[in-house]
Amino acid sequence: MRTDAIAAWTRRRWLKAALAAAAPAALGPGAYHVAAASREVVIKMTVKRFEFSKKVIVVKKGVPLVIEITSLDVPHGFAVPDFHARAEIVMPGKVTQVRFTPDKAGEFPFLCDIFCGDKHEELEGRLIVGA
């Protein structure tokens, strides 16, 4: 009984060690992370009354996007209605991530959708998605 338990433990331990050794050998160190990270395009920008630091964002259709936005003053919104993507950039100084994959080519507006002052309506830009 006791010998069986020890044998089972030894097998499990061996299997765990074998898997740990085999994975990096087959894929290279960190292969999973590199593959996942390299597919995403990260765009960093700031927003303040009444402009986004990037007025035009050019990307490619089908490539996953992460737009990282930081407010320099008051709470703002960020919305790309054509892709149903939006976020509230509520805390000045904190990075907010908006993730989506543009699945159609063309030119699409993005805008602030939280009232932030008298020129709020002018706080907008264009997302250009190339085929």
CA gap 116, 95 in Å, rounded: 18
Contact letters (x/-) for Cu ion, 69-108, by CB under 5 A? ----------------------------------------
Which span sits near Cu ion by CB under 5 A: 21-29, 39-47, 65-73, 117-125?
117-125
Minimum distance from residue 114 beta carbon to Cu ion (Å):
5
Beta strands, E only, the chain: 41-48, 51-52, 56-60, 65-71, 76-80, 85-89, 95-100, 106-111, 124-130
Minimum distance from residue 115 beta carbon to Cu ion (Å):
6
Cis link prior to 50 (omega < 30° from 0)?
yes
Candidates 65, 85, 112, 127: give the one binding Cu ion (CB under 5 A): 112
Candidates 6, 38, 118, 59; CA nearest to 67 is 59
Q: Is 67 in the site for Cu ion (CB under 5 A)?
A: no
Q: Which is nearer to Cu ion, 4 or 118 (CB)?
A: 118
Q: Give the helix/strand (H/E) hosting 34.
A: helix 31-39
The residues that touch Cu ion, with contacts defined as CB under 5 A, are: 112, 116, 120, 123
